[in-house]
């Protein structure tokens, strides 16, 4: 796996924009994570959130644990995370550290064999194979690695012009951005179907038995799992906000770096995509949600 070449090099403005635009994960997803963790003997002492970026998921996880640590290789991301802070269930401050996923056992104040849960929210596609032995080293027996990924957006199939909106979305993701995708982007695009799992690593990590692995998928390809709505519910997505959100995608950042004369002009790839959506929607509103995949690994 190729490490992320974009987010770790964000400047302060880019890190702030990322923090302000990326949506939160639904509470129902966290409830599923906690339920699975507790059901399989996991404790709620210490959580380490890897690839935490500006700390959004870390702050959502922290109230369920006595201690929480967020790590990310991006210095500006960690600066933003520290500015936002956050508290644990015990009232302690969340600790944020600059660190790559493949070196998390070296983070200060992370006890070897004393971590209850390691998480990665839409980040594991950037991790190298060395993440897994580091995770095995840190987790206590019965601990859990929880990885999840969400898509960019899908229109709710019941909204007006849903098929035309999805056609525009598909073109943007699969034609405009694909040439600027890194291998990690492609793993994310496929909702972790191709993610390297611990028993596939070299050497294989036997501390995470395949038979204890659980995977859950919701709303793949925009097809509603319950036939009614996306996990966590769909919502209205203002197109001005969508413009800013799409600007935080790493492939968009690389497109703009490759086209400095077009970036943030009327011919910017995101501006053209949003303009196409406005034309399709006319005076209608965009109602959208995200596909979600959740992968749970238990340490013996």
- Give the number of other CB atoms < 10 A from CB of residue 133: 16
Q: Token pair of 53, please?
A: 């970026």
* Residue 185: predicted pLDDT: 95
Residue 1 has pLDDT above 60, yes or no: no
* Residue 2: predicted pLDDT: 53
Residue 93 has pLDDT above 60, yes or no: yes
- Among candidates 116, 122, 124, 53, which has minimal Cα distance to 88? 116
- Among candidates 201, 182, 75, 79, which has minimal Cα distance to 132? 201
Q: Is 294 exposed, middle or buried (0-12, 13-18, 19+ CB in 10 A)?
A: buried
- pTM across the whole model: 0.95
Q: How many residues does the chain have?
A: 300
Residue 135 has pLDDT above 80, yes or no: yes
**Radius of gyration of the chain measured on its C-alpha atoms:** 19
Question: Tell me: the pLDDT tens digits for 156-215?
Answer: 999 999 999 999 999 999 999 999 999 999 999 999 999 999 999 888 999 999 999 999
Q: Which helix (H) or strand (E) holds 140?
A: strand 139-150
Dihedral angle over CA of 33, 94, 253, 101, nearest 10: -70
State what percent of residues in the chain have pLDDT above 70: 99
Question: Tell me: the pLDDT tens digits for 219-255?
Answer: 999 999 999 999 999 999 999 999 999 999 999 999 9
Q: Which residues contact 161 (CB under 8 A, 6 or more apart)?
A: 280, 281, 282, 284
Q: Are 116 and 19 in contact (CB under 8 A)?
A: no
* DSSP secondary structure string for all residues of 162-229: HHHHHHHHHHIIIIISGGG--HHHHHHHTTTTTPPPGGGSSS--TTS-GGG-EEEEESGGG--TTSS-
Residue 4 has pLDDT above 80, yes or no: no
Question: Tell me: the pLDDT tens digits for 23-80?
Answer: 999 999 999 999 999 999 999 999 999 999 999 999 999 999 999 999 999 999 999 9
- Give the number of other CB atoms < 10 A from CB of residue 45: 18
- Among candidates 102, 130, 298, which has minimal Cα distance to 203? 130
Q: Are 127 and 102 in contact (CB under 8 A)?
A: yes
Average pLDDT value for residue range 90-99: 98
């Amino acid at each position: 796996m190729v490490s992320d070449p974009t987010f770790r090099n964000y400047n302060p403005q880019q890190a702030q924009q990322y923090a302000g635009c990326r949506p939160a994960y639904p509470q129902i997803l966290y409830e599923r994570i906690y339920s699975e963790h507790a059901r399989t003997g996991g404790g709620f002492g210490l959580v380490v959130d890897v690839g935490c970026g500006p700390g959004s998921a870390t702050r959502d996880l922290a109230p369920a644990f006595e201690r929480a640590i967020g790590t990310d290789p991006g210095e500006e991301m960690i600066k933003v995370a520290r500015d936002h802070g956050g508290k644990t269930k015990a009232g302690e401050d969340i600790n944020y550290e600059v660190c790559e996923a493949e070196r998390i056992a070296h983070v200060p104040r992370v006890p070897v064999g004393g971590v209850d849960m390691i998480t990665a929210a839409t980040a594991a596609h950037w991790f190298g194979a060395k993440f897994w032995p580091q995770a095995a080293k840190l987790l206590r027996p019965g601990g859990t690695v929880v990885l999840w990924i969400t898509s960019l957006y899908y229109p709710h199939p019941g909204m007006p012009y849903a098929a035309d909106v999805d056609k525009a979305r598909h073109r943007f993701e699969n034609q405009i951005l694909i040439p600027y995708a890194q291998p990690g982007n492609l793993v994310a695009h496929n909702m972790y179907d191709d993610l390297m799992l611990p028993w596939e690593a070299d050497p294989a990590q036997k501390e995470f038995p395949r038979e204890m692995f659980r995977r859950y998928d919701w709303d793949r390809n925009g097809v509603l799992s319950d036939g009614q709505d996306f996990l966590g519910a769909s919502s209205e997505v203002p197109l001005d906000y969508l413009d800013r959100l799409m600007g935080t995608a790493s492939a968009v950042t690389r497109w703009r770096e490759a086209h400095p004369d077009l970036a943030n002009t009327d011919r910017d790839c995101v501006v053209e995509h949003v303009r196409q959506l406005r034309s399709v929607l006319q005076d209608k509103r965009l109602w959208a949600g995200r596909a979600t995949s959740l992968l749970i690994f238990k340490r013996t």
